[in-house]
Structure 1
Amino acid sequence: MANSTMVTEFLLMGFADKRQLRLLLSVLFLLMYLATLSGNLLIVSATTLDQSLHKPMYFFLRNLSILDMCYVSVTIPNACVNSLTDNRVISVTGCAAQIFLFIYCAFVELLFLTIMARDRYVAICQPLRYPVIMNHQFCVWTTLVSLLSGLIYAGVHTGNTFRLSFCQSNMVHQFFCDVPSLLSLSCSDTFNNFLLLIVSAILFGCGSFTFITVSYIYIFSTVLKFPTKERGKAFSTCVPHILVVSVFLSSSSCMYLRPSGASDILQGVILTVCYTIVPPFLNPIIYSLRNTQVKEAIRKIQFRFIPMSLRSKHL
C-alpha cells in the first residue's frame, strides 16, 4: 500500500469500443432522454394545472414524473457527452456525487412504485374507504418519508464505498459510476460492502416486490369479480405497473448482486439500460399518457398555450 499510487480520477468505459457504434448508441440514448423529459414534463404540467387531477393517484404520478426526470438526468447526459467527445475522465468527487444521486433516485423510485401499488389496492379493493385512507396528509407524509429515507440510504452506501482505498486500475467498466464497478477496483477488503448490498437488496428490493405482488394478487382477485368491460380497464392499468417494477428490480438486482468477476461489458450495459433508461422512459406512457383524464388535461393545456393565430389556421 505504501508504494501504491492512489487513484485521483476514474475513467468511464463508455457505451462501446467502436466509434460508429458508440455514436449510434449515444444518439439513441439522447433521443430517449429527450423523450423521457418531454413525457414526464407533460405529466407534471397536466397534473399540476388541471384541478380535476388533484387526487392522490395523480399526486403520486406527478412525484414519480419529477423523480424520473432527475433519475435519468444523473447518468445519461454526461454519458452521452463523454461518448461523443471521447472524454471519459471523471473526478473522485464527481463519481461520489453521481453514485449518491443515482442511488437516491433509484431508492425513492422504488418507494414511490410501492406506494402507488398501495394506492391502486385501496382504490380497487376498498373504494369506499379510499378518501379516508389515501388522504392528503398520508400522501404528503409518505412522500416526505421517502425523500428523507432516500438521503440516509444513499449516504450510507456512498460513504461505505468511498471509505475504501482505490490504488489499482482506475478504469470503471460502466458508462457511469456505480457501486459494483468501484468495488471491483478497490484494493481494500470489500466483504462488508457486498454484504451491505445483499442485505439492502433483501430488505428493500425483495420487501417492496413482495408488497407489490401481494397487493396485485388482491387486486386481481377483486377485478375478476367485475363486469367484463371494467375488468379490462383495471387490468390495463395494473399489468403495466407490474411489468415496469419487474424490469426495474430484476435488472438492478442482477447488476448489483452478480459476482465481481463477471465483467461482460455488453451484458452490463444492457442490464444498466434496463433500470436506468427504460423505466423513466416507459412510466409516462404506461401510467399517464394512456389515461383518458390525463390525455384530456394535456389537450386543455395545449389549447390554453397555443397562440390564437395557430388555432385559427388549424380550424
Structure 2
Amino acid sequence: MKILKKRHIVDTRQQEHIHKGASKVPSVTLFLVFRLYRTFKDSKYLYMLLEACLGGELWTILRDRGSFDDSTTRFYTGCVVEAFAYLHAKGIIYRDLKPENLILDSRGYAKLVDFGFAKKIGFCKKTWTFCGTPEYVAPEIILNKGHDVSADYWSLGILMYELLTGSPPFSGPDPMKTYNIILRGIDMIEFPKKVTKNAANLIKKLCRDSPSERLGNLKNGVKDIQKHKWFEGFNWEGLKKGTLTPPITPKVSSPIDTSNFDSFPEDTDEPPPDDNSGWDYDF
C-alpha cells in the first residue's frame, strides 16, 4: 500500500503527476508491467493498493554486483522490450526508464514500475513535456523538439549500457552538463572493452540522435530489436509466457518478506492537515 499526503501533493503542485501515474496502470494486464489494483482516499491521504513485487530493485542488485554479464543484461532488457511493446501498442509512452524503476517479482522477472511520467499520446503523435531522469533523457526532449515512443527506445540503449558497465554513458556533475554531453552523441562515448561488439552495435542503434533512425522506431518496430544479433537465440516466447528461467532468483521466504528492499525508519511525523479541495474526486 502506497500512502501519499494529499496536502503535500497540493503544496508541491503534483496533482496532475499523481493522476497520470494512477490512470495509466489499472488497464495493464501484461505481467511484466506493475499492477495497480485499487485507489482509496480520506481527508488526509491517498492510498494505492499495488502489486507486491518482493524481489527488490534491479538497481540495488546492480549496485551490489557492479555490472551484469551479457546474458543477465539480455534478460532484463528483454523484459523492458516486451513491456514497451505492450504500452506503445496502447499509445502510452513511459519516459522514466532506469534500474530503480525495474523491480523483480519473487521469481526474478523484472517489472516496470512508477508511471508518474507515462502519458497516453496515441499513435504518430508527439508531446512536448520536459521530463525524465537526466542521464536517460533523449536529445529531442532536451532540445524541446517534441518526442514520441522513440524516446523510450533511446532510454533502452542507456539502460543496456548501464547494466553492462555499472554506470550510464552520459553523466555530468549537474543536469545541464549531462544534457550537453548527451547532445554530443553516443559516438563520442568510448565503450569499455567488456561490452561486446554486438551489444555496442545495438546500443548505438538505439541511441541514434535522430528519432527516425532509432531501432524500435523503424517500419518493423520492436521486431528490429528482437531480431538484432545481440538477441540471437533468445527465447522471446518463453519470456512472454513466463517460462524462461531468470538469471537471478531472489530469496523470498513468504508473501510478506520485504528483506530484498532497503529498510527505512518509520514515519514519526504528525498527521498532515486535511485537504478537501476535491482535486482527487475520481480516486
TM-score normalized with structure 2 length? 0.30
Larger radius of gyration: 1
Higher helix content, 1 or 2? 1
Name the structure, 1 or 2, with higher relative contact order (CA <8 Å, separation 6+).
1
